[in-house]
Chains A and B, each alone.
Chain A
Amino acid sequence: MWYFMRSRLGVAAAAVSILFIVAALLAPWLTPYADAGRGVPDLSIRLQSPSWSHWLGTDDLGRDVLARLLFGARTALVVAFGVVVLSVVVGVIVGAVAGYFGRWADEILMRVTDMFLAFPPLLLAVLVAAALGASLRNTVIAIAVSWWPWYARQVRAQVLSLRERPYVRAVQAIGVPRRRIIALHIVPNALSPVWVQATADLGAAVLTAAGLSFVGLGPRPPTADWGTMISEGRQYVLSGQWWIAGFAGVAIVLVAMAFNLAGDVVRDVTDPKTRQHLS
């Protein structure tokens, strides 16, 4: 916590991140328009500008934009954590196995990883999402498919150096099973760069998911989703109803930046070099 406090930006980032998570978890209790948040239209109040009863206005189907944003935060939260957890799990397993066993296991796994890395991540995500069809689950899968190789590479590099360390040699010498060595002695020590990347990736996942939704590959309507709000609200900007796309855009920028900065803070905390420098 001390390190977080050292930087005002870090504090702000942490605050926004926490606010985002709380908003997502408590969405139904934070707005009187929970039904609208879930997608129930009220055509009698379409496209109303921000007012006391609807702080951020209403959208093309008369739904409260604030409620849609709050429920959209749930979608974003699921995507962010879903993508990161999935990518980290797959990436760590592949990276650890490749790094520890080396030889043909390394060859095979790394060539597969290279195959995935050969595609630009967003394009690969678009292809996968288009192939699987639009849904929240598929959005998570699509992004995770393009992201796990980054983690695999990172973990493998760590494991390669760790496995030569004396303490690993020692546990090998006393006959600890390889599975235990990897799980208890190597992976935990290989994870610190992964945490940095994972934290920052939470924000990037929100951004990428918004991109997929924007091009029509996000969760199906009427699920509230920030990218979809921008894509559907875009047409109304020309006729002056800026608030649908506008506020969703602000939400995406804030959350993506907050997690990105939080990633920096985590790096400063976990990296011994910067830690010394800070203290």
Chain B
Amino acid sequence: MKFRRILAMLSILALLASACGDDDDDAVGEPTPLATEVPAGDSSGEGGSSPTEAPGEVGEAPDDTAPQEVETDQSAGRFVYASAFPFVDLDPSSAFSAEHIVLQNVYETLTRFNPPGSSELLSPGLAVEWESNDDATFWTFKLRDGVIFHDGSPFNAEAVRASLQRTIDLGLGAAYIFLPIESMEVVDDLTISFSLAWPAPLDLVMSSAFAAFIMSPESVGQDSQWFNEGNGAGTGPYIIESVSPNENVILVRNNDYWGGWSAGQFDEVELRIVEDQVLAEQMIRSGDADFTFNLPFDSYASLDGVESLSVVRSLSMTNLFGLLNNVRLSAEVREALVTSFPYQDVVENLYGGEATRAVGPVPQTVWGAADGSSLPQTDLNRAAAILSDAGVEDLTLTYSYDVGEVEQEQIGEVWKAGLAEIGVDLVLEPLTWDARWEIAQGDPASAQDIYTMFWYPTYVTPTDFLYSLFRTEEFPFFNLGYYSNPDFDVLLDSADATSGTDVDAAIEMFRDAQDILIEDHAAVFMLDVPSVSVIRADISGYTPNPAYANVVWFYDLRRTG
């Protein structure tokens, strides 16, 4: 994925090279080939046609988007969403990366998690009301009447059962959220009940950003390839019109949407994949994009001054941490690392001063987060003392991070300088996500020492952070610090089972479980990542919701200007 970014940059480089390289051609072999070889890379089949075109698109803008010109009385034309992340898998059962940005507009879920500050935790989605028995092992959902799928088939309890059954049977992506479900029963056309094997907050589970989508009976019988070709019928306000892998996804409005339509809403949405942060910033500045996120944090201050844009800062449920290799690193080394990390420097100076310090493995915005009473403080002297007491000398450690992620690199460089003062050499290893994930899933004894990672919740629960990242795994998937502690596993499992019935008790157990991780120095909990996005100032209705990272519900938007 990052390799394509490389090609994009190559074409920029080719422009530079051809601009300054044509001084003499008989003595020098290199400058001339430089300018001619990039088209070869372009067509070399690395799947990279879109990014190599992308730099040119800035100049071609006027005939491309220009929503203002398309504007009519009834609709606001086309909305362009510039996404830093590609949409790899559009199968609603298995998608588990950034595809929810698309799918949340095409498919709907039974419930929806409300933005923080709302009076209720959940809003009705395709379900209008729901209830459970006292021990949260039996749930009944009443469904919305009069809803039809994009393909014209009616929405009903059987469609819900078939959709969820498909997701459960495939068992991919976030399907694990349905593990508690033992059986489903269609009570009547618009009522479905669930028997659970253990107590679980199924209403919360149904609001998941992934895997909880309801699709039409015809879609249920199809495979992933069919969905990835741009097919699939949901009940949402938009329909996928076309999919160009690595380039864009086009959505058009579903005229039969049960919520109805009013003036000023968008007819069409283009989700364009723009992996290069600087290009995305150029697009939002020039008007080629209406919305973007994941810009370099140092940019937001200057974007604040652009009148036609609004920079939207909101709570996030995303955090950044460095998983410490529990196989390679002794407890003392891990403690020294946790003690040496430059928390204040990073929070105050990087991320445009907009980040907050992490209190533990779960972001402060998620219920059940640690209380923050025992935060480690940066103390290089103490870190040095810990190492010398343990007899550790000549320590060289590797810091694996995503190539091109500006802040992760800055963090690495600042940390490295601090560690150098106490005689520890931190080697920065920038790699593409694919490459470093593959290495990390290999033998822990020869893997990286520190692995940086972002995490945002599937549905809003502490379990989501603790289970995937720290619960014992026989074959590492996301537990890339290779942490394994039976006490923690047991406590986490019982906390999760308790959360269906007694939230307060569950919170206590989650906190105890997190304290174990903090005491074991399982990872360096760096910061809660600020959520900042940029949208054109004349578009109203955008409410960021941290439970659905980076999702824009296009249906809610209106062009006002």
Q: Is residue B119 contacting chain A, with contact meaning CB distance below 8 A?
A: no
Task: Name the distance in Å between A259's Cβ and chain B's nearest Cβ.
Answer: 9
Complex CA distance for A208 and B36, rounded to whole angstroms: 14
Judge whether A238 and B412 touch: CB under 8 Å. no
Judge whether A220 and B428 touch: CB under 8 Å. yes
Interface size on A, residues (CB 8 A): 52
Judge whether B17 and A235 touch: CB under 8 Å. no
Q: Is residue B114 contacting chain A, with contact meaning CB distance below 8 A?
A: no
Q: Is residue B547 contacting chain A, with contact meaning CB distance below 8 A?
A: no
Q: Is residue B404 contacting chain A, with contact meaning CB distance below 8 A?
A: yes
Q: Mind listing 10 A-B residue pairs with CB under 8 Å?
A: A41-B413, A46-B349, A121-B37, A147-B30, A201-B29, A217-B6, A220-B428, A235-B277, A235-B278, A235-B406
Task: Name the distance in Å between B512's Cβ and chain A's nearest Cβ.
Answer: 36
Complex CA distance for A205 and B281, rounded to whole angstroms: 31
Task: Name the distance in Å between B54's Cβ and chain A's nearest Cβ.
Answer: 14
Known: A43-B348, A234-B278, A235-B406. 16 other contacts (CB 8 A): A60-B298, A121-B37, A197-B29, A201-B30, A207-B34, A214-B13, A216-B5, A220-B428, A232-B409, A235-B278, A235-B296, A238-B281, A238-B282, A239-B298, A263-B28, A264-B24
A238: contacting residue among B10, B278, B403, CB under 8 A: B278
Query: Which residues of A are found within 8 Å of B33, using beta-carbon distances?
Result: 120-122
Query: Which residues of A are found within 8 Å of B285, using beta-carbon distances?
Result: 238
A-to-B contact residues, CB < 8 Å: 39-41, 43-44, 46-47, 60-61, 120-123, 126, 130, 133-134, 147, 150, 196-197, 200-201, 203-205, 207-208, 211, 214-217, 220-222, 231-232, 234-236, 238-240, 253, 256-257, 260-261, 263-264, 267
Judge whether B30 and A121 touch: CB under 8 Å. yes
Q: Is residue B464 contacting chain A, with contact meaning CB distance below 8 A?
A: no
Q: How large is the interface on B (under 10, 10 to 19, 20 to 34, 35 or more residues)?
A: 35 or more
Judge whether A215 and B406 touch: CB under 8 Å. no
Task: Name the distance in Å between A12's Cβ and chain B's nearest Cβ.
Answer: 13
Q: Is residue B414 contacting chain A, with contact meaning CB distance below 8 A?
A: yes
Judge whether A40 and B417 touch: CB under 8 Å. yes
* A contacts with B: majority SS: helix
Judge whether A204 and B29 touch: CB under 8 Å. yes
Please give me the 7 A-B residue pairs with the lowest Cβ-Cβ distance, nearest first. Answer: A120-B37, A204-B30, A239-B302, A43-B349, A200-B28, A215-B6, A215-B9
Query: Which residues of A are found within 8 Å of B40, using beta-carbon distances?
Result: 120, 123
Complex CA distance for A147 and B301, rounded to whole angstroms: 45
Residues 257-312 of B at the A interface (beta carbon under 8 Å): 277-278, 281-282, 285, 296, 298-299, 301-303
Q: Which of B285, B412, B427, B428 has the most chain A CB atoms inside 10 A of its CB?
A: B428
Q: Is residue B410 contacting chain A, with contact meaning CB distance below 8 A?
A: yes
